[in-house]
Amino acid sequence: MAEETNETPTVKPGYKTTEFWLSVAACVVGALIASGVFPAESIGMKIAGLAATTLAALGYTVSRFVVKSNS
């Protein structure tokens, strides 16, 4: 007979995860590119930096939502 365990999976706080810190790094680099701290020859480079920042933030938010909803 199989034993039932009532253990609930533990979910780390968001700031303790690797995905959080990688997302923060991507957001910082993207924001620096978009703001012009790094010299960019074209407006396309600034748009790419802004897009990278936005996608990193959205990706992190979605991944945390999935983790929290599965627990």
Mean pLDDT of 15-44: 79
Mean pLDDT of 21-43: 79
In a domain, 22, yes or no: no
In a domain, 42, yes or no: yes
Mean pLDDT of 39-67: 81
pTM above 0.85, yes or no: no
Packing angle of the helix pair 43-70, 18-35 (nearest 10 deg)? 160
**Residue type for 44, please?**
G
In a domain, 23, yes or no: no
In a domain, 6, yes or no: no
In a domain, 3, yes or no: no
In a domain, 11, yes or no: no
In a domain, 17, yes or no: no
Residue-number span of the structural domain to which 45 is assigned: 30-70
